[in-house]
Structure 1
Amino acid sequence: MSAIDDNDQALTEPNKPSRKKPMFPVQESLRSYLKQHGREVKLPVSYKDLLHFTYSVPLLDKNGRDTYWETVLYDIREFEFIREGLVKMYAILKTEGDLTFTKHLDVARIDYCSFGNSNPFRIRIVNKFNDNYDHYYIKIADASRIYGLELEHLLSPNRITYLTHHNTLVEEHIPGIPGDVFISKHLNEPSTNKIRLAKEFVKFNERCFVRLLGDMRSYNFVVDITPDIEDFQYRIRAIDFDQQSYEGRKNLYLPQFFKENKELVSLCTKHLNQDSVEQYQMEERTMMAFRVASTRFRLMELLNIMARDKISTEEKLNQLRSELSEYFKSSAFLKCTSMGQLVKRQLKQTLQKNLALISKNLGKFED
C-alpha cells in the first residue's frame, strides 16, 4: 500500500458508502459458531420489546443541538418489564449473569436512533448509590455486523464484548472521543501529540484495509487517549461494523479516502515521510499476523462460515474482487465467489510475508 495521500482527487464524493445497507439474516452455521464461542445466550429483553414505546422526545446536546437520538418513554407497566430485563441484561453483559449487584442498578434513560443502518437503542444504566453510569446498545442482529464485531475481536488490538439472541444483538459501549468531535475540538490543542496521532491513523487505516472494514468516516470511530511517560498514546477504535465487506469500491475500505478524515490525512502527510508510513504499516501487519496465528482455528472457522454466507450483492462482489485483483496484480481474487472468500484472500495476500516470518514457531496459516 502506498503512503497516505491527501490530494483532492483522493477525497472526492464518489468515495461514499451506500446510503442504506440491507440487513442480512444470521444463518444457522453462524448461529452455531456464536453458541460455541459463548456469544449466543438467552436474553431477558429483545429488540422488538423496545420498539413498544409510547412516544419520544429529541435528545439535544449541552449546546442545544440535535444529536440524532430520541429519548423514548413507555407505558408504566411496559416499562417495569423492560427496566427489569435491561438491568439483568447489563449483568449478563458485564458479570456473566451474576445478579448480586443489580439491586443498586437502574435504567436512567433509553435512547433510540433512527439515523443510519442499525437503528440502535442506547441504554444508560446508573448506579443509584453514587450516580455513576454506563451505556450499552441493543440492535437488530445483522450478519455482516456480527462478522465485523468478531473480526475486530480476533484481529485488532481490542477485545469486543457482544451477545446475540435470535434477532437481537447487544454490544458494550466502546469508550473514546468520537472522531469528528476529536478533530473539531482536540486535534489542534497544544497537548495533542500530532506525530503519535498520525502514526496511529496509519495503523488504523491498515487494519481496516487488511480485514475489509468499510465506512470508517470520523463519526464511525473513536479516539482513545492514554497518558504515557511524558506524553500521550492514541488508539483509534472502530465503533460501527455495519459495513464489514459490503461495498464494492476498494477505497471505501481505506479511511484515508474519506473527506471527513481529511485533517487526519493532512497530519500524516505533514509529519510522516514515506519510510515512516511503510514502517508503521509493517508494524501493524506484523501484529495482525501474530493475531492470525494465535487465533487461526477460530478465525478459519469464522471465515469458512463467512465464505458460504451472502453479505453483499453480486454487483459489489464483482467490483471489489476486480479492484483488489488490479491493485495487488493477482488473479487469485477473481476466483473468489463471496465476500468471505475475499476477506480470506485479502488476509493471505497482505499478511503472507509476515506470517512466513513467524510460521516456524506458531504454525502456518492454511488456505
Structure 2
Amino acid sequence: MNSQEKLISKKKPTFPISNLLSDYLKEHSRSIKIPIFYDDLLRFHGCVILYDKNEEDTLWVRTYFSEFEREEIDLCLKKIYTLLHSDGNEETIPFLNVDAIDYCTFGNSKPFRIKIRNILNDNYTYFYVKKADASRVYGLELEHILSPHSINFLIYKDTLIEEHIAGIPGDVFITDFLPKCSESEKSQIAKEFVKFKERCLVRLLGDMRSYNYVIAPTHDFDQIVYKIRAIDFDQQSFEGNLKVYDLQFMKENRKMIEMVSEKLKTSSIIQYKIEERSYMAKRMIMYPNRIETLLNCMKNDVISYPENIKNLKKQVEDYTSDPKFRDCENMGDILESILAFVKRNYLNISNKELF
C-alpha cells in the first residue's frame, strides 16, 4: 500500500439527501423538477473509448443510444440546459444540439458529460449529470458561499446536474503548461495555490489531487492571471485524516508545492493564508443565515463514519490546541467549529496559523 492509499483508505459511499437538506435546496432554488434521471442515461447501448491528442485513454467513453431513445433523451437534456442556464424557456430548444453524451469510468461519481451546441453560432458548453450525493451537495454549496467563485447546480430526487467549470486540468497544466510559464507567472500561480490550499483545508474539502482542480488563465491588460478552482466535491467532510484535506500531502501536487517553496518566503505564505481566511470570514458575515442553515443540515446528517469523526476532531484539536473540538459529535460540528475559529480571529489577526 503506497502513501496515497494510506491517506484515502476506503471508497466513499454515496450518502442520501436528507429531508432537511432537501428543504434547504428548495429554499435556495437548487431543487427543481427535471425531465430525466441519471439512471436513464445508464441505458446506453454501447460506447467507444475517447483518447487524448497523445492517443492515451482519457477514461471517458462516448455513449450511443438507440435512435428512438436518443431523440427523447436529447430533448430532455436540452430542457435541462435551459433550466440550468436560463429560466427554462423552451423557445431556444430548436437551436440547440446535443453533440455528445460521454460517460466517465473513473472515480466515485461516474458522471455523464453533456456537450450542448448552439447551431446558430457553433458555440458550445458542457454540463454534468451525476448521482446525487449529500457530500457532493454540501461541497458545492460551501464552494458557492465561501469561495470567490459562484457555482450553479440543480438537484431532483437522486439526480444532480452541475455546470461545467472551465479551466485546464491541474495534472495537464503541471505537465504541459507550467514549465513554459515565466518566473513572474510562476510566482502568481504559487500565490494562488497557497490560497486555494488554505481554502480547501479550512472548509474540509478533501482529495484535491491535481486532476481534481483546474487552473484557469485570464488575460488582464499585459499579464495573465491564474485562478485555481476545485471541480470535484465528492470528498467534502468525509475522511478522518487531516492530511487528506491538505494539498501538500498529495504526491500529484509535489511540483506545485516545490514551486511555492522556491517562489515565496514564509512571511508571504503566512500573509496569503491570512488573506484567504479573512476573505472566508467576510463571506460568512455577508451570508450568516445561509451558512448557519447549511451547517445545521450537516450537523443533523450522516456524511461520514464514526471513526472518521473521532480521528479528525482529535487531530484538529491537537493542531489548534482548541479544546472546543473535543465536544464535536459529527462532521458538521467539526466544520462549524473551524469556521467559528476563523471568524473569531478575523478582527484579531495574528501570525498564528489555523493549520
Give the TM-score category using the shorter length.
over 0.9
Alignment counterpart, residue 228 of structure 1, candidates 205, 220, 224: 220
Residue 127 of structure 2 corresponds to which residue in structure 1? 136
Q: Which letter does structure 2 place at the counterpart of 1:311?
A: I
Residue 285 of structure 1 corresponds to which residue in structure 2? 277
Q: Which letter does structure 2 place at the counterpart of 1:221?
A: Y
Superposition map of 1:260-299 within 5 A: 260-299=252-291
Per the alignment, do residues 15 and 255 of structure 1 end up closer, same or farther by CA in structure 2, a change over 3 Å counting? farther
Q: Which letter does structure 2 place at the counterpart of 1:262?
A: R
CA–CA separation in structure 2 for the residues paired with 1:74 and 1:97: 25
Contact 1:112-1:119 at 8 Å conserved across structures: yes
- Choose 321-330 or 182-191, whichever is displaced more: 182-191
- Give SS of 1:71's match: strand
CA–CA separation in structure 1 for the residues paired with 2:111 and 2:232: 11
Residue 203 of structure 1 corresponds to which residue in structure 2? 195
Contact 1:15-1:257 at 8 Å conserved across structures: no
CA–CA separation in structure 1 for the residues paired with 2:315 and 2:341: 14
Residue 233 of structure 2 corresponds to which residue in structure 1? 241
- Choose 289-298 or 348-357, whichever is displaced more: 348-357
CA-to-partner distance for each residue in 1:249-300, whole Å, 9 max, x for gaps?
Answer: 1011011111100000001100111100011011111111110100111100
Structure 1: runs of 5 or more not aligned:
1-10, 358-367
- Choose 215-224 or 19-28, whichever is displaced more: 19-28
Q: Count how many residue pairs are aligned between Structure 1 and Structure 2.
A: 347
Q: Which has the higher contact order (CA 8 A, sep 6+)?
A: 1
Residue 16 (structure 1) shift: 3.1
Tell me, yes or no, if structure 1 residue 101 matches structure 2 residue 81.
no
Superposition map of 1:181-220 within 5 A: 181-191=172-182, 193-220=185-212
Per the alignment, do residues 77 and 234 of structure 1 end up closer, same or farther by CA in structure 2, a change over 3 Å counting? same
Q: Which letter does structure 1 place at the counterpart of 2:129?
A: I
- Give SS of 1:243's match: coil
- Give SS of 2:13's match: coil
Structure 2: runs of 5 or more not aligned:
350-355
CA-to-partner distance for each residue in 1:110-142, whole Å, 9 max, x for gaps?
Answer: 001121101100001111223221100000000
Contact 1:15-1:252 at 8 Å conserved across structures: no
CA-to-partner distance for each residue in 1:314-350, whole Å, 9 max, x for gaps?
Answer: 1111110110010001121111111011110111123
After TM superposition, the score normalised by the length of structure 2 is 0.95
User: Percent of aligned positions with the same letter in both sequences?
Assistant: 46
Tell me, yes or no, if structure 1 residue 110 matches structure 2 residue 101.
yes
RMSD: 1.4
Contact 1:290-1:355 at 8 Å conserved across structures: no
Residue 15 (structure 1) shift: 5.8
Superposition map of 1:1-367 within 5 A: 12-13=3-4, 16-18=7-9, 20-191=11-182, 193-354=185-346
- Choose 120-129 or 153-162, whichever is displaced more: 120-129
After TM superposition, the score normalised by the length of structure 1 is 0.92
